[in-house]
Chains A and B, each alone.
Chain A
Amino acid sequence: MIQHKNIIAAYSIMILLIIAVGILQSWTIALTILNYCLISAVMTIGANIQWGYAGLINFGIMGYTALGGLAAVLVNVPPVKEAWKAGGSGMVVSLILIIFGVYVIRTVLRKFENSKKRNYVVAATIIIGFIIIRYISGPAIENIEAVDPAKTGFLGGLGLPIIFSWIVGGLFAAGIAFIVGKIALGLRADYLAIATLLIAEIIVSIIKHEDWLARGVKNVIGLKRPVPYEVDLQSSTWFIDLVEKFHSKKLDLITSLSERQDVLNQLVIDASSVYVKLCLAGLFLSVVIILLILTQKALYSPWGRKMRAIRDNEVAANAMGKNVVKEHLLIFILGSAIVGIAGAMMVTNDGLFTPGSYRPMRYTFVIWVMVIVGGTGNNFGAILGGFVVWFLWVEAAPIALFFINLFTSHLEETNALKAHLIQSAAYFRFLLVGIGLLIIMRYRPKGIIPEKINIKKI
């Protein structure tokens, strides 16, 4: 019961904080923060499944987020017909060759026993395959990238609504997680952390530099939203009527007709952006709730108990006949898929895909801080961590600025120290998050809302 009270109290404080931002700064900022909090919450659910349920460290969150974003581009952007004509066939042939090569290597590995000869055959297949694929894809890539490079220069996507990409992003991430898991899951905990981090770095560098795929660092802009656009809202009568009704008291006070119209226009512009953000927030919230229900059900199912048993004592669980390797792989894929969904959601929210912005600091370490601060192994804790840390991450600069001004108010405006501090106010977010993590690790190692283990008394 105390646990429930804690959870409710913590979440109410969080909601109050966001409302406070809405009142003190603006509702648009508050809703932007809320949306990112919800996306972060999806990521932390993914990381928490891996770390909290099974004790697997996945520092590759950045890579799966980027894959989700890639999925959003590939699903939403309409196909570029000229590019397909210019080099589509070459790329398809290369893809078929890659699949064929993987199939050949698989059969060689399966059919023949481990020997030097076999290894040489595998190595030769890889090298020859690589050269052939480069020979075929090289000109094709050049042709594709030459098609109107300022606007397209890539193959484009399917032209479907972006909502589908949330599923596709999950599938992409799951597929890559399967491969990564096969490679890396046998490693010890801290090796696994480093290996996943580096593999994620490889994934991001491929997305960044393969321009034919998603324009690389040239970014993809103008992805279509699943919710109405501000411009359309501002010209539709029902929305203006709604705003008028909502603010009728304030508007009635104004007597002059032209002035009233100006105020109304301003209100409609503000309200349209708030409305769009609310729609997105509704979509994200439903994803969070669905995932929360599913993960809670899984946590208290026999499967969840099995995972906890594996986490707490791998050897004993193995002795009980649980297939530790298989379960680790499964949970690694599930967690990564959820992160992939979050990646697609984030690109949906932004409406643009910027591969250059995927950096380990923001997309791996901050997410990990969220999970640890919130409470490992407890989904409510992890989601709360996502909210708290993201809130701090965004609001750290204004808070820091406030304190800098407070403490240096006796100094002159031209004081070098004061100017320097004000200039670097943005970096106080690292300090805040880092110190927060260190304090939580030291004094509350299980997080704000710790994991609750039900042991039934006889």
Chain B
Amino acid sequence: MDFINAIILLLNYTVIPALTYGSQLALGAIFVTLVYGILRFANFATGDMMSFGTMVAVLLTFYFQSLGISFGFLPTALLTIPPAILAMIFYMLFIDKFVFSYYRIKKSPPVQLAMVSVGVMFVTQAIIRIIIGPFDRRFFDGEKFILKANEFKEMTGLNEGLAIKSTQAITIFVTVIVVSIMFWFLNRTKTGTSMRAYSDNEDLALLSGIDPKKVVLITWIIAGILATIGGVLYGLDKSYRPFVYFNNMLPIFAAAIVGGIGNPFGAFLGGYVIAFAEILVTYAYKKFFTYLLPEFMEPDSLMQLLSTDYKFAVSFSILVIVLLFRPSGIFKGKTL
């Protein structure tokens, strides 16, 4: 019985939150990796682009709520994702047309494009803050829990409760669907194959008649979908605040590099690696060991490896270790 209690405890406090957070990171990491693999630069505007898409969704949610439209027990924000994606793609294509395409055609070094993306980051951040302001906004509505801790306790008769928030379930469910569609697209369709070819060897791809404009367009469309969905899911689960989204760029980069930059599957797993590491290293295992160990061996400290303040630092340290021992990432990077 104690053993099951310990497992439930870990599930409730580490595994489920890590899966949720990992899914959110994974979507962002695939976005970074796609841009890096096909457009060939590190996009420092990642966090703010996600923020832009989420901002549109938040504003639309508030508008829908004022009209009285709701999505039953599901959050209204899910209804606003499609128009938000459209706005996001439009914004990305606009930026690409007026900023990035010039450097792409000139074949500037990736460093220059990365610097340009810093400029885009500033502008995007300004637009967001001018439109919606820097404040914390919650836009979640609908049922909060799928499974409440108390209900679970009554159902099973265990000491430990297992709570599943609906945002957690939605996040994992949506991520699985989006990512599987994306991998199907990249691996099975003709357009996806041409994108992979372009990423592998640009010149050879051009020789075989692949239209670079189309590849770039499709890349931005996929990027827009991933950025918006990732951002909205994060905002639903926590809350929407522009500064936090900017900061999220850092673990997302870490996830993309850990998985092997340019490799979408690596980025997908990298997100979970980072999320699990952050949560497992900073979780206090005291209660867990109290269940498992006999009474005389019970720990009196918190059994916490690092305090939760170092959450971000953990993921960055993992990145440093990976860069030291396997610079191309866990899964060999730079093939799409």
Give Cα A57 to B113, complex, Å.
13
Interface residues on B, range: 35 or more
A31 within 8 A of B: no
List the B side residues contacting A430 at CB < 8 Å. Answer: 122-123, 125-126, 129
A209 in contact with B310 (CB, 8 Å): yes
A441 in contact with B112 (CB, 8 Å): yes
- B282-324 interface code vs A (CB 8 A; 1 in, 0 out): 0000000000000000000000000101101100110110011
List the A side residues contacting B120 at CB < 8 Å. Answer: 434, 438
Contacting B at CB under 8 A, from A385-421, are 421
B218 within 8 A of A: no
Give Cα A198 to B248, complex, Å.
12
Beta-carbon nearest neighbor of A431 in chain B: B126
A190 in contact with B111 (CB, 8 Å): yes
- A112-150 interface code vs B (CB 8 A; 1 in, 0 out): 000000000000000000000000000000000000000
B4 within 8 A of A: no
B324 in contact with A183 (CB, 8 Å): yes
B102 within 8 A of A: yes
- B111-133 interface code vs A (CB 8 A; 1 in, 0 out): 11011101111111111011001
Give Cα A346 to B115, complex, Å.
26
List the A side residues contacting B127 at CB < 8 Å. Answer: 431
- A179-218 interface code vs B (CB 8 A; 1 in, 0 out): 0000110110111011101110110011011000000000
List the B side residues contacting A372 at CB < 8 Å. Answer: 115
A445 within 8 A of B: yes
Give the interface segment out of B15-23, B178-186, B187-195, B249-257: B249-257
Give Cα A427 to B122, complex, Å.
10
A433 within 8 A of B: yes
Q: B78 to nearest A CB, angstroms? A: 28
A365 within 8 A of B: yes
Do A190 and B257 contact each other (CB < 8 Å), given the known contacts A434-B119, A435-B123?
no
Do A184 and B126 contact each other (CB < 8 Å), given the known contacts A205-B313, A208-B309?
no
Interface contacts (Cβ under 8 Å), in number, total 121
Q: B270 to nearest A CB, angstroms? A: 13
B309 in contact with A438 (CB, 8 Å): no
Q: A208 to nearest B CB, angstroms? A: 7
A437 within 8 A of B: yes
Give Cα A201 to B309, complex, Å.
12
A205 in contact with B310 (CB, 8 Å): yes
Binding site for A on B (CB under 8 A): 41-42, 44, 99, 102, 109-112, 114-116, 118-127, 129-130, 133-134, 246, 250, 253-254, 257, 261, 307, 309-310, 312-313, 316-317, 319-320, 323-324, 327
Q: 13 pairs across A/B with beta carbons < 8 Å? A: A57-B114, A186-B327, A190-B41, A191-B42, A194-B257, A201-B316, A361-B125, A365-B122, A368-B118, A424-B130, A430-B123, A434-B123, A442-B102
